[in-house]
């Protein structure tokens, strides 16, 4: 998809990866950009507006754990932009001590945001189609014991997004789905992992995790935007240390049919 002239919604646009993605989107001259975030970041917003007078940039306060916030944010965006072509679900929290919140933000929030966005984008409901990009994680590709709750939530995001990409749905709605799985990326999310692990006791995994190579948010964002431009519906893409790897997850269960 050529992003120039498109209307984009970015959830988590003031976060570490989010800010860099927004900068990439602005460079591509998107027509309009809605940022759904927990709190305003007035200085960043003012700078983006100043430097990009041709893009309609607007901030919408949204706590992704509140369905009413999600619904209000998309409604306000549809009223302002007319339609939107791209949604990036990029909010997130890594803190396994906060079990409910981890599931609410990382999984339930992504599901509610996706289904609400679809109401506006679905061609079968009068929308124009487009693409929804859900940010999972490498912890959403394999069990990650040090952050078992986060890993469960992100695995949910991977599976949910792949299910939404079913060709029957795609043919009907015109909305494609991409799953993005970044490797370790240097942002606030990874700060103090030791105090956010699943258990309070010491584990040998912590020392290992502290040694894992990290990519910068900028490198991750450049590949994330490239992925939106090039990926096919249903793609699961691991963004690791500056490279994009397509992941093929096999179907293990082959249902036996009655005659």
Ligand X SMILES: NC(=O)c1ccc[n+]([C@@H]2O[C@H](COP(=O)([O-])OP(=O)(O)OC[C@H]3O[C@@H](n4cnc5c(N)ncnc54)[C@H](O)[C@@H]3O)[C@@H](O)[C@H]2O)c1
Stretch that binds ligand X, among 57-65, 118-126, 166-174, 225-233 (CB under 6 A): 57-65
Out of 100, 188, 229, 246, the residue judged to bind ligand X by CB under 6 A: 188
Active site residue 150: yes
Q: Which of 34, 35, 90, 132 binds ligand X (CB under 6 A)?
A: 90
Catalytic hit among 10, 59, 120, 150: 150
Q: What minimum distance in Å lies between the beta carbon of 177 and ligand X?
A: 16
Q: Which neighbouring-strand residues pair with 8?
A: 33, 86
Site string for ligand X, 91-110 (x = CB under 6 A): xxx-----------x-----
Closest distance to ligand X from the beta carbon of 69 (Å): 8
Quote the least distance from Cβ 256 to ligand X, whole Å.
37
Q: Do 216 and 185 meet the contact criterion of CB atoms below 8 Å apart?
A: yes
Span of 25-33, 84-92, 193-201, 240-248 interacting with ligand X by CB under 6 A? 84-92
Cβ-based nearer residue to ligand X, 173 or 179: 179
Site track for ligand X across 12-51, x = CB under 6 A: x-xxxxx------------------xx-------------
Residues 119-158 that bind ligand X (CB under 6 A): 135, 137
Question: How far lies 18's CA from each of 11, 21, 189, 209, 223, in Å?
Answer: 8, 5, 12, 23, 13
Residues that bind ligand X (CB under 6 A): 12, 14-18, 37-38, 62-65, 90-93, 105, 135, 137, 182, 184-185, 187-190
Active site residues: 150
């Amino acid at each position: 998809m050529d992003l120039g002239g498109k209307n984009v919604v970015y959830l988590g646009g003031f976060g570490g990866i989010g800010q860099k993605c927004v900068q990439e989107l602005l460079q591509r001259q998107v027509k309009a950009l809605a940022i759904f975030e927990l709190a305003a970041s007035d200085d960043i917003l003012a700078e983006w507006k100043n430097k990009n007078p041709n893009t309609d940039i607007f901030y919408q306060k949204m706590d992704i754990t509140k369905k009413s916030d999600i619904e209000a944010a998309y409604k306000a965006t549809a009223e302002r932009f007319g339609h939107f072509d791209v949604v990036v679900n990029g909010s997130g929290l890594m803190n396994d001590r906060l079990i409910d919140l981890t599931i609410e933000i990382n999984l339930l929030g992504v599901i509610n945001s996706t289904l609400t966005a679809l109401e506006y984008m679905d061609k079968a409901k009068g929308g124009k189609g487009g693409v929804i990009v859900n940010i999972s994680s490498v912890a959403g590709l394999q069990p990650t014991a040090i952050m078992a709750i986060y890993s469960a939530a992100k695995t949910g995001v991977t599976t949910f997004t792949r299910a939404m990409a079913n060709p029957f749905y795609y043919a009907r709605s015109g909305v494609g789905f991409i799953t993005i799985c970044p490797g370790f990326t240097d942002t606030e999310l990874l700060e103090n992992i030791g105090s956010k692990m699943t258990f309070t006791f010491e584990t040998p995994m912590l020392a290992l995790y502290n040694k894992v190579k990290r990519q910068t948010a900028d490198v991750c964002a450049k590949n994330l935007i490239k992925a939106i431009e090039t990926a096919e519906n249903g793609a699961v893409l691991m963004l690791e240390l500056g490279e994009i790897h397509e992941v093929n997850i096999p179907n293990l269960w082959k249902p036996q049919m009655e005659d």
